[in-house]
């Protein structure tokens, strides 16, 4: 893998993780 693709995969993983974390926090707050 090239450094560019590694950075792309890492950035995508962080974006998905933080998005899911925000959704989970939002659901927990509404309960």
Task: Please report, for the chain, the start and end positions of each structural domain, with discontinuous segments joined by +.
Answer: 1-31
Q: Quick one: DSSP state of residue 1?
A: -
pLDDT one-digit tens code per residue, 1-31: 799 999 999 999 999 999 999 999 998 888 7
CA distances from 25 to 3, 17, 19, 29 (A): 32, 12, 10, 6
> What pLDDT, on a 0 to 100 scale, did the predictor assign at position 30?
80
Please enumerate in sequence order all residues whose Cβ is within 8 A of that of 1, keeping only pairs 6 or more positions apart, or say none: 9
Nearest partner of 19 among 8, 27, 5, judged by Cα: 27
> What pLDDT, on a 0 to 100 scale, did the predictor assign at position 1?
75
Task: Give the whole-angstrom CA distance, residue 24 versus residue 9.
Answer: 22
């Amino acid at each position: 893998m090239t450094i560019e693709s590694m950075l792309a995969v890492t950035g995508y993983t962080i974006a998905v993780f933080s998005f899911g974390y925000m959704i989970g926090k939002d659901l927990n707050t509404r309960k």
